[in-house]
Amino acid sequence: MMKAVGARVIINPDKAKETTESGIILTEVLPDIPDRGVVVSVGEKVEELNEGDYVIFDPMGITPVTYEEEEYFLFYETQIIAKIEK
């Protein structure tokens, strides 16, 4: 398993949509980039997030990483926009 360091978090993003709600198929040219996901690891300097939190992030600031055939996004804690309470 990967472990975040410093003020970074590792997020398992929601899967990208292949169709819109109205049924339009999204192509590979313009895929729907996820903007939400679950925190799977937090660094020791992260103060407001915990593993398992469901968060919203800016999809333009992602650093994608593939680990054991699964895609993850790396962020600094300050790049997370909101935490969704369930």
Tell me, what amino acid is at 16?
A
Whether 71 maps to a domain, the answer reads yes
21 is a domain residue: no
- Output the pTM of the full model: 0.80
Mean pLDDT of 22-50: 82
Does residue 39 lie in a domain region? Answer: yes
Number of domains in the chain: 1
Q: Answer with the residue of higher pLDDT: 84 or 28.
A: 84
**Do 49 and 83 meet the contact criterion of CB atoms below 8 Å apart?**
yes
Residue 27 lies in a domain: no
Q: Residue 51 sits in which domain range?
A: 8-16+32-84
Asked if 48 and 26 count as a contact pair (C-beta separation under 8 A), the reply is: no
**Residue 42 belongs to some domain of the structure:** yes
Residues 6+ apart with CB under 8 A from 75: 8, 9, 11, 57, 61, 62, 63
CATH at residue 79 = 2.30.33.40
pLDDT score, position 7: 96
Coil/strand/helix, residue 79 = helix
Mean pLDDT of 26-40: 76
pLDDT band at 29 (very low <50, low <70, confident <90, very high): low
Please report whether residue 24 resides in a domain.
no
Predicted pLDDT of residue 20? 67
Strand order of the β-sheet with 80-84 is: 63-67, 70-76, 8-13, 36-42, 54-57, 80-84
